[in-house]
A = this chain, B = another copy of it.
Amino acid sequence: MYSGKAATLLDLQSIAIGDLVEVSVDREGPKGEHESGQLVLRGAVMGPFGPSPDSSIVLKLESGYNFSMDVDRVRSMKVMGRAETMRVQRARSGEGPPSLPPVTLIGTGGTIASFVDHRTGAVCPVSSPDDLLYLLPGLGNVCHLSVRLPLSKLSEDMDPDDWMVMAREVVQAFGAGARGVVIAHGTDTLALSAAALSFVLRDLPGPVILTGSQRSSDRPSSDSFSNLFHALELAARSDLGEVCVLMHATISDGISAVHRGTRVRKMHTSRRDAFRSINSEVLGTVSEKGIQLVGPYRRADPSRVPYIDGTFSKEVLLLNAQVTLDPNLLEEIGMAKRALVIAGTGLGHVSSSLVPVLKGLVSVGRPVVMASSCINGRVNMKVYSTGRDLLEAGVLEAGDMTPETALVKTMWCMGKIGPEGAIVERFRDLFCSDVAGEVEPRSVHSAFPEPSADEGRGDRTD
């Protein structure tokens, strides 16, 4: 909460977090007297994330940007609306207006559900559902919101057990009457979790939307509010019946892209438009024009009863088949796991010195899947002699899946197969069918972006 002068200013008009206000602020402090005059701004009062919660107040402007203002520079503050706060509070107590569709927001940690600890400068995950709502005022008027916080982790620490926690939460949420579910997730492994949920969740009655944030919510350039807002809209109003990812479509807040959960990959370390559909078109967009889905996608059907199909084996490794992977090490690694996914070169190749090792692994019941380190395009092992040797060795093509989706699918297939019996044969049957739109029998178009020159300048790595 705000304290000191900031709290006093807010208390004067009983302004609470989430209230819409219009403020008039001095343009410059004493050091910039050449530029006097006042700035009039309108926005929702956010939680205190600035360095001095006792003397500055943060507004979420309509542009989506955060604005931190020194209390001493505030000339006037007018309340423009309290509805949002009311709705958030009603949603918290489960008393939202029945006209709004019920959506469950599942917080799991990550930047989108983090705040900056002003003592250490570190980004810390929120620890309660209320904290999450507190970070994001104004979301209560999108839907009747229930918040859950089953996990509070940076996403690089997420493991298959966490995927199962999320899957159970989704099933529970629909069971409790949710129309849609939003999962706030760290971006590092968001695509992996989306793929995992796509494989393990069956008969979804409505949308399951994962979203994250590339910039923490205390920063002016944060994408957390815009992504969460659009994700909640999508969960509340779309007829999607599958697991999707919603993230910025461009570097500004206006448009979000909707990606299939098995087809998305984080393709940039820091940009807000880092997430891209691979070998597949985006399913649609969310913007001020509303939700525009171009499909094809699986439609929602409220009569379906969702359930969890299977689990994930951790005994699978994704390996780069690069120049220095020697046969002995490959054999050691292969025998230490139950299955391997190789990110091969080009159409799906490895050094020919590795082929006999992979053949040996398959022959002792360890499935081997070949994806491509090119990421875009389709594995095709029928073109060159190395590929044909790999097929002959029993290595399976990952088609047009990303290496990461091939990894998750292999983990899911191995989760369904016990340690005994005709493992390789049963794996092949499971792996070579399309479970969740993750693979197409033939690539008709490839959605490979044109090289471009300058548009990155607007979104520096900072």
**Cα of A379 to Cα of B188 in the assembled complex, Å:** 12
For A149-161 the 0/1 string (1 means CB < 8 A from B) is 0000011111110
Among the listed stretches A140-148, A168-176, A301-309, A440-448, which one makes contact with chain B, having 4 or more residues with CB under 8 Å of it?
Answer: A440-448
Is there an interface contact between A270 and B155, defined as CB atoms closer than 8 Å? no
CB distance from A251 to the nearest CB of B (A): 9
Residues of B within 8 A of A282 (CB): 451
- Contacting pair B322 A329 (CB below 8 A): no
Asked if A249 lies at the interface with its beta carbon under 8 angstroms from chain B, I say yes
Tell me the minimal C-beta distance from A384 to chain B in angstroms: 6
Q: Which of A182-217 contact B (CB under 8 A)?
A: 187-189, 192
Q: A266-B345, A268-B377, A269-B346 are in contact. List 5 more A-B contacts (CB 8 A).
A: A250-B450, A316-B324, A324-B407, A442-B461, A449-B452
- Tell me whether A459 is interfacial, beta carbon within 8 Å: yes
Q: What's the dominant secondary structure at chain A's contact region? A: loop
Instruction: Select which of B157, B316, B322 is within 8 A of A407 by beta carbon.
Output: B322
Asked if A179 is at the interface of the complex by the 8 Å CB criterion, the answer is: no
Measured between beta carbons, the chain B residues less than 8 angstroms from A242 are none
The verdict on A455 contacting chain B, using a C-beta distance below 8 Å, is yes
**Nearest residue, chain B, Cβ from A459:** B446
Question: Are A156 and B349 neighbours in the complex by a CB distance under 8 Å?
Answer: yes
Mark A residues whose CB is within 8 Å of B.
122-123, 154-160, 187-189, 192, 249-250, 257, 266-271, 273-274, 276-277, 281-282, 314-326, 329, 332-333, 336-337, 343-353, 372-380, 383-386, 388, 400, 403-404, 407, 411, 442-457, 459-461
Q: Which of B343, B351, B377 contacts A157 (CB 8 A)?
A: B351
The 5 A-B residue pairs whose C-beta atoms are closest, nearest first, are A269-B377, A446-B456, A188-B345, A449-B449, A188-B346
> For the complex, what is the distance from the CA of A206 to the CA of B277, rounded to whole Å?
41
Question: Is B257 a contact of A451 with CB atoms below 8 Å?
Answer: yes
- In this complex, the member of A269, A317, A332, A344 whose beta carbon has the largest number of chain B beta carbons within 10 angstroms is A269
- Residues of B close to A378: CB separation below 8 A: 269-270, 461
> Given A189-B323, A447-B453, A452-B449, does the pair A461, B346 have CB atoms closer than 8 Å?
no
Residues of B with C-beta under 8 A to A336: 329, 332
Which of B269, B320, B322 makes the CB contact (< 8 A) with A379?
Answer: B269
Picked from B268, B319, B411, B445, the residue with its CB within 8 Å of the CB of A320 is B319
Which residues of B lie under 8 Å from residue A156 when comparing CB positions? 321, 344-346, 349-352, 386
State which of B323, B337, B443 has its C-beta within 8 Å of the C-beta of A160: B323
Q: Which single member of B281, B318, B375, B450 contacts A449 (CB below 8 Å)?
A: B450
- A276 CB to closest chain B CB, in angstroms? 6
Q: Which of A122, A320, A411 has most chain B Cβ within 10 Å?
A: A320
| Interfacial chain B residues near A388, Cβ < 8 Å | 122
Residues in B whose Cβ lies below 8 Å from that of A277: 451
Roughly how many angstroms separate A344 CA and B198 CA in the complex, as a whole number?
Answer: 23
CB distance from A152 to the nearest CB of B (A): 13
- With both beta carbons as reference points, the residue of chain B lying nearest to A123 in the complex is identified as B384
For A318, what are the chain B residues with a Cβ–Cβ distance below 8 Å? 320, 322, 324
What's the Cα separation between A273 and B317 when bound, in Å? 30
